[in-house]
Amino acid sequence: MSGKVIITTPFPTPEQVAAYYKIPAKRVAELDEMIDDIRRSMATTKAHAKKSRSRNGARKPSNGSKALRAKK
């Protein structure tokens, strides 16, 4: 088995990968669109998580207020 290997070859471009797998241009366009949609939705989810984290941080109830609610 190989130890750690160092790769020196240049990175393949998406065009090279598509050519290697003979992915037709139409399918490449569909995949590019799918990837753009995924990135948009991941960015929205990230922004939402960041927003709710900061909001929760500001509104985090203290143990005292929780105990008071439980009493009521």
Residues that bind another protein (CB under 8 A): 1-2, 4-14, 16-18, 20-21, 23, 27-28, 31-32, 34-35, 37-39, 41-42
CB of 55 to another protein, least distance (A): 24
CA dihedral of 53, 58, 64, 65, whole degrees rounded to 10:
-90
CB of 3 to another protein, least distance (A): 8
A 10 A CB-CB count for 17 gives 11
Q: What angle do CA 33, 13, 34 make, to 5 degrees?
A: 10
Query: Is 17 or 47 the residue whose CB approaches another protein more closely?
Result: 17
